[in-house]
Chain A
Amino acid sequence: MKKLNTYRGGPDEAGHFGIYGGRFVAETLMPLILEVEAAWDAARADTAFWDEFHYLMKHYVGRPSPLYFAKRLTEHFGGAKLYFKRDELNHTGAHKINNTIGQILLARRMGKTRIIAETGAGQHGVATATVCALFGLPCVVYMGETDIERQAPNVFRMKLLGAEVRAVTSGTGTLKDAMNEALRDWVANVDDTFYIIGTVAGPHPYPAMVRDFQCIIGNEVREQIQEAEGEGRMPDSLVACIGGGSNAMGLFHPFLDDEDIRIIGVEAGGHGIETGKHCASLTGGKPGVLHGNRTYLLQTDDGQILDGHSISAGLDYPGIGPEHSWLFDNGRVEYVSVTDREALDAFQLCTKTEGIIPALEPSHALAHVGKILGELPSDHIMVMNMCGRGDKDVFAVAKMLGVEVSQ
């Protein structure tokens, strides 16, 4: 693999990261996609846009989120020093709000008056419903029927926030079907509607735009690690979980050109890659085209999309953002997977050892951290993205642990 001058230059004008990305959408949407792109190009060059974004990040979301030295887990694993980037402390409990604030500011700039979104775990749905309440815009959230069952608290939160939650029964009623349904809604309502996509996927410019909003995570880490460990000190490794890849990209991207830093993305291994019941698009899928972009997908030999399986509804997506596919092929980022069981163990360990109830998604990241931290030297610094809190998961976890909790 030839070495690049920069890993941060993508996408090209047509939205490609190498062979990945692009704009694979029906013609009806194409003019709108081009309009979003033009609006985004103008907004991101406008300091007033970023001033408002950063104002809301600070006063509404509560940023910067702390960079916390997880002393007890560090001692538990014995080895390198572990820091958590605490995006679970954000308003609404996950990193998703970084992106929804950014996109609703863009929607408002474009004069759009109706917001739609897809959601899996419900975190992105809640984050979207929240900003719609904040900006006084009507909000429709598409959510798979299966997910509505496993994430009941988030469904109620969205409704309290004034959003309409539409159950998606097509396909297998999970995140990919919710995204299909949101795209169908958008095709039918191009004039007034803005689609707030929840991760670094979809047609150009979404993967780049969502990344740019989420980069606030990594940019803060660059500052905070120096405050904690001394000027000029950068982390030696970064770890984040991957559903569509937005929290991971937000942490990774500002460090891609620091070539000594080891970067690891953790996919959902479900029951194990060998069982076929997993959600590891990179380590268990192959390139294809879905939801507006070319990327690694779980699919059959006939090119039909397969449903993923994960304990975590937020990782249950058969694709992954196209920039991750590119970083996988060129080897800059390592991608691994951990199983449901390993994630559940990490969930419990973190809760008991640090007093932090993590979401099941970052529990995957932590499970991998647990596999490697002990073998690394004590002067090695690892930063893991604690991208969401586990409140939404307690009922699901209770069920898996065979404990009865009345909901």
Chain B
Amino acid sequence: MSRIASRIAGRFEALKEQGRGGLITFVTAGDPDLETSRDILMGLADAGADLIELGMPFSDPMADGPAIQAASLRALKSGMTLKKTLALVAEFRQQDKDTPVVLMGYYNPIYIHGSDAFITDAKAAGVDGLIIVDLPPEEMHELEGAAHAAGIDIIFLTAPTSDDARLPVIVERASGFVYYVSITGVTGTGSADIGDIHSAVERIRRHTDLPIGVGFGIKTPEQAAEISSVANAAVVGSALVDIIAANLDAGGKAKPGLVEKLLGLVADLAAGVRGAGKKVT
């Protein structure tokens, strides 16, 4: 099957040429409110994010820890919806034609929007990939056909529990990149040992040529640097979301400087992956 090279594939090609791993940032759309979230999103690429993962808020994020749960609830409380998330991506695309955007979330809001309509609308908005946490390969047929037809990548999660029997089931359906969840746990709860991550990434590589992004538990520029030297990209989420949580006033409104602080950490993380040096194959 030949497919048009996606923005995601293109970005990983470019990273390879630069001889470095990438930085993928995660924030939740609409957290803590639409305006602040827009400012964050518009600044991420300049601050050094290579790919942008944008969370679609959901009331019951069962694979997320307290930080991202709270982010989701803040966004919903501020009036965020799936339609507004798509509109936010469309706005971003007006300004940035190159940085890949991956939407991450849970299936129910998509199902209620209508799966095919969602793919059409996501494509129109300029979305490049999807990570749907509660659609394992066994259920991905719900979105897969329409997504592939539209040229939207489906990014599957792999975990420490994905053994050599399980991995082929996952990666044969994957496109864009493969996401390795480095801990058996929810987001924001702990960090895996770099040696374990390295061997897990090696194991996944035996099953696929797709780039591998590693996430869960990566918080510092040092960790991001380490990860990007053994994988194709490091995903940082809870650490960014923590900055949002720490910069809200008593009424839950963004305090001045929130966006700058968050983008400051992104810049540090980006410097980390850029300085990592070691070539990734």
User: Which residues of A approach B to under 8 Å, CB–CB?
Assistant: 14, 22-32, 170-171, 176-177, 180, 183-184, 187-191, 286-292, 294, 297, 299, 301-305
Give the residue of B60, B106, B138, B163 whose beta carbon is less than 8 angstroms from that of A171.
Answer: B60
- Whole-angstrom distance from the CB of A124 to the nearest CB of chain B? 19
Taking A170-B66, A294-B111 as given, write out 8 further A-B residue pairs in contact, using a Cβ cutoff of 8 Å, ordered by the A residue number.
A23-B139, A30-B166, A31-B163, A171-B60, A183-B62, A303-B108, A304-B76, A305-B108
Please measure, in the bound complex, the distance between the C-alpha atom of A290 and the C-alpha atom of B106, giving whole angstroms: 9
Within 8 A of A (CB), among B113-140: 113, 133-136, 138-139
Cβ of B158 under 8 Å from chain A: yes
Residues of B near A297 (CB, < 8 A) are 108
**Max chain B Cβ within 10 angstroms of own Cβ: one of A189, A290, A292:** A290
| Interface residues of chain A: helix, strand, loop or mixed (majority) | mixed
Residues of B near A177 (CB, < 8 A) are 60
Asked whether B161 lies within 8 Å of A190 as measured between CB atoms, the reply is yes
Give the residue of A26, A31, A190, A305 whose beta carbon is less than 8 angstroms from that of B166.
Answer: A31
* Count of A-B contacts judged by CB separation below 8 Å: 115
Sampled A-B contacts (29; CB under 8 Å): A24-B107, A26-B133, A26-B134, A26-B157, A27-B157, A27-B158, A27-B161, A27-B170, A27-B181, A28-B63, A28-B157, A28-B159, A28-B181, A29-B161, A30-B161, A31-B161, A31-B162, A170-B69, A189-B184, A190-B184, A290-B60, A299-B108, A299-B112, A302-B112, A303-B82, A303-B108, A303-B110, A303-B113, A305-B60
Residues of B near A180 (CB, < 8 A) are 60-62
Closest to A287 in B: B111
Please measure, in the bound complex, the distance between the C-alpha atom of A177 and the C-alpha atom of B108, giving whole angstroms: 16
Residues of B near A299 (CB, < 8 A) are 108, 112
Cβ of B59 under 8 Å from chain A: yes
Please measure, in the bound complex, the distance between the C-alpha atom of A28 and the C-alpha atom of B136, giving whole angstroms: 9
Give the residue of A23, A291, A304, A305 whose beta carbon is less than 8 angstroms from that of B136.
Answer: A23
Give the residue of A14, A24, A31, A302 whose beta carbon is less than 8 angstroms from that of B134.
Answer: A24
Please measure, in the bound complex, the distance between the C-alpha atom of A31 and the C-alpha atom of B136, giving whole angstroms: 11
User: Which residues of B approach A to under 8 Å, CB–CB?
Assistant: 58-63, 65-66, 69, 73, 76, 81-83, 106-113, 133-136, 138-139, 156-163, 166, 170, 181, 184-186, 189
Please measure, in the bound complex, the distance between the C-alpha atom of A303 and the C-alpha atom of B186, giving whole angstroms: 22
Residues of A near B76 (CB, < 8 A) are 304
Give the residue of A176, A183, A302 whose beta carbon is less than 8 angstroms from that of B81.
Answer: A302
Asked whether A32 lies within 8 Å of B109 as measured between CB atoms, the reply is no
- Whole-angstrom distance from the CB of A133 to the nearest CB of chain B? 28
Please measure, in the bound complex, the distance between the C-alpha atom of A91 and the C-alpha atom of B163, giving whole angstroms: 42
